[in-house]
Amino acid sequence: MTKVYDDALSTSTIYAAENNVTAMVERGGAVEFFGSTLDLRQCAVRTYTPDQLPLLQGMVTGLYGTYRYGVREQAPTIRISPRAYRRAWYSPGVHEIVLPGARWAWNDMVLCHEIAHAASGCGHDARSAHGKAWRSIYAAMVAEVVGPEAGLLLQAAFDL
């Protein structure tokens, strides 16, 4: 049986969209958006440190509880990788989010990305991990955590 995927967005397209939205939010100011202007000054991508892990676990629990869709009731745990991995990931088998020690991984966008994997129950192969369900949940989380304007930018980038 052939798998049917809900879209054709590649992983590199997803990451490029995230990076562009993050850069726009960090620059701040106004952005032209389909004939309107979005004011990004109210948006903020916060960064964290490993000693704030209890705060992040609380954030995971809250967002997961709000956005989970037909998956486990208990929120995933966060674990710091003992190795210097180049990516963060959600591990469905043990239901945990793993963050590398690298500074780039300790921000709202990366955390929402990984929580969205857990909350959506999307597959974790290269083509289905970032399906429409995942993208919708991720954009909604970013709108709540970073700001509604950032969520709109992601929705447009993901063609939702």
pLDDT in tens, the chain (160 residues): 444 455 667 888 899 999 999 999 999 999 999 999 999 999 999 999 999 999 999 999 999 999 998 889 999 999 998 776 778 999 888 999 999 988 889 999 999 999 999 999 876 655 568 888 899 999 999 999 999 999 999 999 998 7
Q: Specify the pLDDT at position 122.
A: 75
- The answer to whether residue 111 sits within a structural domain is yes
- The answer to whether residue 147 sits within a structural domain is yes
CB 114 within 8 A of CB 137: no
Q: Specify the pLDDT at position 71.
A: 86
Q: How far apart are the first and last CA of the chain?
A: 28
Total domains in the chain come to: 1
What are 142's strand-pairing partners? none
Q: Specify the pLDDT at position 126.
A: 55
- The answer to whether residue 5 sits within a structural domain is no
Q: Give pTM, 2 decimals.
A: 0.91
CB 72 within 8 A of CB 90: no
Residues in the chain: 160
- The answer to whether residue 2 sits within a structural domain is no
- The answer to whether residue 40 sits within a structural domain is yes
- The answer to whether residue 4 sits within a structural domain is no
- Please give the Cα distance from 90 to 119 (Å, whole number): 10
Q: Specify the pLDDT at position 82.
A: 78
- The answer to whether residue 136 sits within a structural domain is yes
- The answer to whether residue 88 sits within a structural domain is yes
- Residue 152: which domain range? 11-158
